[in-house]
Chains A and B, each alone.
Chain A
Amino acid sequence: MATAQEAEEVAVAESQEAAQGAEASSQAAEQDASAAAEAAAIQSAVESARSAARQAIEAIPDPSQAATQATSESIGQGQPTLEEQVVYSVSAWTGKQYAGTFAPRQVNTFYLMADEYSIVNVQRTMVYFWPITGEYMADWFSLREEVPGRLEILKDGRVIDTLERTEYSYYYPSGLSNEQKLYIGEEAVRIYEDYQARLDAYYDAVSAYYNAQREWQRQMDQILKEVQETGQYKDPSEIPEPPKQPSPPTDFAYSPRTAFIVKLPEGRYQVRLRGEDGQVVEGTTKWLEVFDARRRGIGYSVIPEHKWTRSFQSNDPADIFYLDGRRIFYIMPHYAREFNFYQYVKMTNLHKPLEGEGTRSTWTWAQFEPVRGAKLQVLRGGEVVQEIELKPYYVRQTPGYALGYNIVEFNPDADPLLQGRSPTFEAYRVELEGGTSYQLRFVDEQGNVLLGGVREVRPVKAAGRNVYAIPLFPLAIGLVVFAWRRTKSGKKGAIEA
């Protein structure tokens, strides 16, 4: 039979257990509440980030606005006189990207590349001339208003086309600093919506990731606690895998806007905006010069292996590569066109009146998209001796104190050191021996030689003394003639005597 003392001890123990149970349940409730609050906070933070990202994308200025927006600093200095103007904002295709400018009232002609899409808009904004840099600037943030109407294009005084504003969007398949594409009409909306859907999916995945991370952390804390309490290590299979952080989309799409999409053949045109009242909007009649390339070809961007930071370009098909001995070099081909320098520079610098002035007789090569799917053939004596494929390469710094680097083929499977890294460049690796001449040419998948894609390669010999001895041969002949004349006149004199 239990004594009173025993009964008292049991009662105390029971009351203690009850107290501990109550405390534990109160802690669990607190933990649940805190977890819920934490999850809500995460959800809220992700939603804020999602909303901020969307706002940022929609607020990204058009190239014409980004290139010509007056800074608050410049507006605040020297009290420039801002004037409300109707301007043409132009985002012109340069071969690699859309570059922006605008034609203020003072500029009568603007320039576009033939047979390429360009974005033109007629807008009302605040314009002033900034004498320090000699350029017109616009305060797009204070006023940016589309002037309603249709754009009329005239040739020789006759309207040849009338354009309505159309939706357009810029798309960057590999991120903002890389290749840029233009989508117009419904495709522009589709590409943006697709991007937005993937961005939304990413934020949903982020939200899910943080929840999963929190759950994983809770499980890990529990395991840690158990290990601390029991002193028994867990089997690795019992430890849960941490959740994987989702990656954001690597591409990027501009939010669609509307403007006039202009694509014209080479020629001199006039443009004007016809307002909704049927009248031509004052100050919108301007000349439009659409220019084409003088020559087209394949440009070679060449990276010499021994000086990889000193790459150079060869756009002119008449170029010959001269080698000093055996050389290894890497070629990155791209389409290239030669334009009149004045027109090409003016196209994207209308707001800078002095830019390009005095260069009407100069020509320049512009790089276009990289050549895809081509092979590089090396020819010796007219015979193809080598066919080279495009491969990724990685520039690896030499370890240790010695400065230097190696260019290695980028193959993470074969080289664990390259895992998790990206190739430095993709190119055709050419290794040529000095002593003989070669020809390099790019051929397409059908084996056709690409126009302007051929280059001759010649190894040069050291100058030596011959280079200075050869020019002396006219002098030698002169001395022979002189001696012959002397001899002849001497004989003549002797006969006469």
Chain B
Amino acid sequence: MSVSYRMHAIKVAAKREIRSTLYGVGLYVVLSLIFLAASYVFVNSTLRLVADAGILAHANPITSPLFISMGLAAAYLGLCSSLAIARDRDLGTMEVLFYGPVDAVSYILGKYFHQLLVYLVVLLFSLVNFWGVSLATNVGFSSDIVGIMLLSIFLTSCMVSFGILLSVSSRRMIVSVVLFLGLVLFFLIFSVVHSWVMGIAGQNLTTTMVYVRVILDNANQFIKWISPVDYYLRGMNAVFRKDPSGYAVSVISSLVYTGVLLALSVWMFKRKGVRR
């Protein structure tokens, strides 16, 4: 299939799907719920601490709720991706589609760009929401937040490609959903536990805790290359350290991750075929 045909197929598929997403209420409900959860965390963490202590030093307190929102939104879109392909196959839609001018690459990229475009809408809502919250509380809306928001596009790119890979690797919708949610949950929990254990003061830990820390740190050496969350966290650290090269590395590595996962998805898709 020629590149122009492929581009056209990707454009049509992505356009059709994004219209369907934006005309439904699902996305808006999910976003409101995510933002409410983020506000709850924000009020009960930073704002409460400032009120209790009178004075508090913190680098961008809005980044925690922002990270939660971005992470949840990206996970939601990843979940939608993992659902979409498995559902198309499950319902037989995929077979019908492939009788037309659609091939594996245009189909996978159509799904990918659909979710990425939806994320741009999510980003717009996030920008308005967090700008409003920071204005209401005067915590400030620094350039770091814009940097983190831009970075979240790449997190979503990783998350969506991860969802697509899981979706093409399983024939049943329920399997891909469970697999995606399970792995994302595992990555999130691992990331939180790892940060917590690393945050415990280094001296005077019990021997058991030292071994737990060693195991987690070694596991992290592996997980950091497969977890989409870790790509985002590395970029966030670079933003806080005002490290443009670290930021660029995070963006490039996210793109490489996406490319590898999408290529794997296409390869797997071709192997499995379009039939149920």
Apart from A354-B210, A479-B28: 4 A-B pairs, beta carbons within 8 A: A345-B203, A358-B197, A459-B138, A460-B139
**CB distance A481 to B55 under 8 Å?**
no
Interface hub of A307, A360, A470 (most chain B Cβ within 10 A) = A470
Rounded to whole angstroms, the CA-CA distance of A455 and B42 in the bound complex is 22
**What are the residues of chain B within 8 A of A358 when measuring CB–CB?**
197-198, 210, 212-218
A329 to chain B, nearest CB (A): 6
A280 to chain B, nearest CB (A): 33
Nearest A residue to B59 via CB reads A318
**CB distance B60 to A318 under 8 Å?**
yes
Known: A322-B46, A322-B139, A471-B32. A304 touches B54 (CB 8 A): yes
Partner of B55 from the list A327, A479, A482 (CB cut-off 8 Å) is: A327
A247 to chain B, nearest CB (A): 37
**What are the residues of chain B within 8 A of A329 when measuring CB–CB?**
55
B203 to chain A, nearest CB (A): 7
A357 at the interface (CB under 8 A from B): yes
Interface hub of A300, A304, A362 (most chain B Cβ within 10 A) = A362
Nearest B residue to A341 via CB reads B202
B126 to chain A, nearest CB (A): 9
**What are the residues of chain A within 8 A of B31 when measuring CB–CB?**
474-475
A423 at the interface (CB under 8 A from B): no
Partner of A474 from the list B35, B61, B210, B213 (CB cut-off 8 Å) is: B35
Leading 8 A-B pairs by shortest Cβ distance: A478-B28, A471-B35, A358-B213, A314-B57, A358-B214, A358-B217, A475-B32, A474-B31
Partner of A324 from the list B39, B50, B140 (CB cut-off 8 Å) is: B50
> A120-128, A366-374, A461-469: which lies at the B interface?
A461-469
Rounded to whole angstroms, the CA-CA distance of A482 and B25 in the bound complex is 7
B189-220 interface bits toward A, Cβ cutoff 8 Å, 1 = contact, 0 = none: 00000000110001100010010111111101
Interface hub of A316, A320, A471 (most chain B Cβ within 10 A) = A471
Rounded to whole angstroms, the CA-CA distance of A368 and B158 in the bound complex is 41
Rounded to whole angstroms, the CA-CA distance of A202 and B204 in the bound complex is 42
B1 at the interface (CB under 8 A from A): no
A252 to chain B, nearest CB (A): 27
A497 at the interface (CB under 8 A from B): no
> B3-11, B101-109, B128-136, B249-257: which lies at the A interface?
B128-136
B44-64 interface bits toward A, Cβ cutoff 8 Å, 1 = contact, 0 = none: 001100110111111111000
**What are the residues of chain B within 8 A of A321 when measuring CB–CB?**
55-57
Interface residues of A in 297-335 (CB under 8 A from B): 300, 302, 304, 306-307, 310, 312-314, 316, 318-325, 327, 329
Partner of A470 from the list B23, B60, B132 (CB cut-off 8 Å) is: B132
**What are the residues of chain B within 8 A of A5 when measuring CB–CB?**
none
Partner of B32 from the list A461, A474, A482, A485 (CB cut-off 8 Å) is: A474
**CB distance B27 to A463 under 8 Å?**
no
Nearest B residue to A314 via CB reads B57
**CB distance B54 to A307 under 8 Å?**
yes
A414 at the interface (CB under 8 A from B): no
A sample of 22 cross-chain residue pairs with beta-carbon separation below 8 angstroms, ordered by A number, consists of A302-B57, A307-B53, A310-B53, A312-B57, A318-B240, A318-B241, A320-B61, A322-B50, A322-B56, A322-B139, A324-B55, A358-B215, A358-B216, A359-B198, A361-B198, A460-B47, A461-B137, A463-B43, A466-B133, A471-B32, A474-B31, A475-B29
**What are the residues of chain B within 8 A of A327 when measuring CB–CB?**
54-55
Partner of B217 from the list A345, A359, A478 (CB cut-off 8 Å) is: A359
B22 at the interface (CB under 8 A from A): yes
A355 at the interface (CB under 8 A from B): yes
A165 at the interface (CB under 8 A from B): no
**What are the residues of chain B within 8 A of A364 when measuring CB–CB?**
202
A473 at the interface (CB under 8 A from B): yes
A491 to chain B, nearest CB (A): 15
Nearest B residue to A478 via CB reads B28
Rounded to whole angstroms, the CA-CA distance of A461 and B34 in the bound complex is 23
**CB distance B54 to A460 under 8 Å?**
no
B38 at the interface (CB under 8 A from A): yes
B36 at the interface (CB under 8 A from A): yes
**What are the residues of chain B within 8 A of A466 when measuring CB–CB?**
132-133, 136
**CB distance B144 to A318 under 8 Å?**
yes
B242 at the interface (CB under 8 A from A): yes
A95 at the interface (CB under 8 A from B): no
Interface residues of A in 435-473 (CB under 8 A from B): 437, 455-456, 458-464, 466-468, 470-473
Partner of B140 from the list A320, A463, A474, A479 (CB cut-off 8 Å) is: A320
A99 to chain B, nearest CB (A): 12
A61 at the interface (CB under 8 A from B): no
**What are the residues of chain A within 8 A of B216 when measuring CB–CB?**
358
Nearest A residue to B242 via CB reads A318
Nearest B residue to A432 via CB reads B55
**CB distance B57 to A300 under 8 Å?**
yes
**CB distance A319 to B55 under 8 Å?**
no
A63 at the interface (CB under 8 A from B): no
B187 at the interface (CB under 8 A from A): no
Rounded to whole angstroms, the CA-CA distance of A195 and B271 in the bound complex is 83
**What are the residues of chain A within 8 A of B133 when measuring CB–CB?**
466-467, 470
B67 at the interface (CB under 8 A from A): no
**CB distance A355 to B203 under 8 Å?**
yes
Interface residues of B in 127-163 (CB under 8 A from A): 128-129, 132-133, 136-140, 144
Partner of A458 from the list B29, B138, B198, B241 (CB cut-off 8 Å) is: B138
Rounded to whole angstroms, the CA-CA distance of A358 and B198 in the bound complex is 8
Rounded to whole angstroms, the CA-CA distance of A333 and B36 in the bound complex is 39
Rounded to whole angstroms, the CA-CA distance of A474 and B207 in the bound complex is 50
Interface hub of A318, A474, A482 (most chain B Cβ within 10 A) = A474
B187 to chain A, nearest CB (A): 16
**CB distance A473 to B137 under 8 Å?**
no
**What are the residues of chain A within 8 A of B125 when measuring CB–CB?**
473-474
**What are the residues of chain B within 8 A of A360 when measuring CB–CB?**
217
**What are the residues of chain A within 8 A of B39 when measuring CB–CB?**
467-468, 470-471
Partner of B60 from the list A320, A362, A459, A473 (CB cut-off 8 Å) is: A320
Rounded to whole angstroms, the CA-CA distance of A481 and B26 in the bound complex is 11
**What are the residues of chain B within 8 A of A462 when measuring CB–CB?**
47, 51
**CB distance A481 to B50 under 8 Å?**
no
**CB distance B136 to A316 under 8 Å?**
no
B7 to chain A, nearest CB (A): 29
Nearest B residue to A484 via CB reads B23
Known: A318-B241, A467-B137. A474 touches B55 (CB 8 A): no
**CB distance B51 to A471 under 8 Å?**
no
Nearest A residue to B69 via CB reads A471
Interface residues of B in 75-133 (CB under 8 A from A): 125, 128-129, 132-133
